[in-house]
Chain A
Amino acid sequence: DGGITQSPKYLFRKEGQNVTLSCEQNLNHDAMYWYRQDPGQGLRLIYYSQIVNDFQKGDIAEGYSVSREKKESFPLTVTSAQKNPTAFYLCASSPLRDSGNTIYFGEGSWLTVV
């Protein structure tokens, strides 16, 4: 089936540790995105990438890093510099040539700092 796969779905991290969230898509989409959502809040953009080997900071990039070595993959690393990492993380992709750039989401990853 075509889609966006995020893993792991649930992750617990000790303070001071880096963790990497995986995002893979087989939709042949050009653009990929990472959003963070806190309880009762809207989506905030962390990073996005429109082409392999290039990415841009979103509104809340501090404490996060990404790479885009392959079109299908856009992993997000939550570093120890991120002070409040507990949140719901959503990866998304879109076909840039699509009218209106409709965006599609993975099922999300829940990160809890313990």
Chain B
Amino acid sequence: RKEVEQDPGPFNVPEGATVAFNCTYSNSASQSFFWYRQDCRKEPKLLMSVYSSGNEDGRFTAQLNRASQYISLLIRDSKLSDSATYLCVVNRGGNTPLVFGKGTRLSVIA
């Protein structure tokens, strides 16, 4: 089992739709979690950290379920500019390097 797994997609959704991505991780000792966004042929950029209580930033909501070892990202009212690959990232702790999922590709269609 891969340490961080994501559905690769692509998810093709119309503008204004709500879309959710899930990510599972295998190491129960993992301590912190992030969602990164990567545009085509660009570097990944931090979208948001994921906190145990869940957190929201505008149209984006991230949730963490430690018991089931999964993280989710919800995007409401999708925009064309949301089209990108979304990377789930996990920190095992102890200053070890972050572990990246392979990403889920989203295409928002007019």
A42 B43 Cβ-Cβ under 8 A: no
Assess whether A103 is in contact with B98, with CB atoms less than 8 Å apart.
yes
Q: Which residues of chain B are within 8 angstroms of A33 by Cβ–Cβ distance?
A: 97
Q: A33-B97, A50-B95, A105-B44 are in contact. Are A100 and B32 (CB under 8 A)?
A: yes
A58, A96, A107: the one contacting B95 at CB < 8 Å is A96
In the bound complex, do residue B44 and residue A43 qualify as a contact, i.e. CB atoms below 8 Å apart?
yes
Q: Give the complex CA separation of A58 and B96 in angstroms.
A: 11
Contact A105 B45 (CB under 8 A): yes
Q: Are A102 and B49 in contact (CB under 8 A)?
A: yes
Residues of B close to A41: CB separation below 8 A: 102
Residues of B within 8 A of A100 (CB): 31-32, 34, 49, 91
Interface residues contributed by chain B, number (CB under 8 Å): 20
Does B1 sit within 8 A of A, measured CB to CB? no
Q: Which residue of chain A lies nearest to B6 when distances are taken between CB atoms in the complex?
A: A42
Which of B45, B91, B101 is most buried by chain A, counting CB atoms within 10 A of its CB?
B91
- Give the complex CA separation of A31 and B91 in angstroms: 14
CA of A74 to CA of B45, assembled, Å: 20
Interface size on A, residues (CB 8 A): 24
Contact of B32 among A31, A35, A101 (CB under 8 A): A101
Whether B34 and A106, one on each chain, are in contact in the complex, defined by CB atoms closer than 8 angstroms, is no
Question: Which residues of chain B from 1 to 54 have a CB within 8 Å of any chain A CB?
Answer: 31-32, 34, 41-46, 49
Q: Does B87 contact A (CB under 8 A)?
A: yes
Residues of A within 8 A of B41 (CB): 88
With a cutoff of 8 Å between Cβ atoms, the chain B residues found around residue A31 in the complex are 95
Q: Which residues of B contact A (CB under 8 A)?
A: 31-32, 34, 41-46, 49, 87, 89, 91, 95, 97-98, 100-103
Q: What are 24 A-B interface contacts by the 8 Å CB criterion?
A: A41-B102, A42-B87, A42-B102, A42-B103, A43-B100, A48-B97, A50-B95, A88-B41, A90-B43, A94-B98, A96-B95, A100-B32, A100-B49, A101-B32, A101-B98, A102-B49, A103-B89, A103-B98, A105-B44, A105-B45, A106-B43, A107-B42, A107-B43, A108-B43
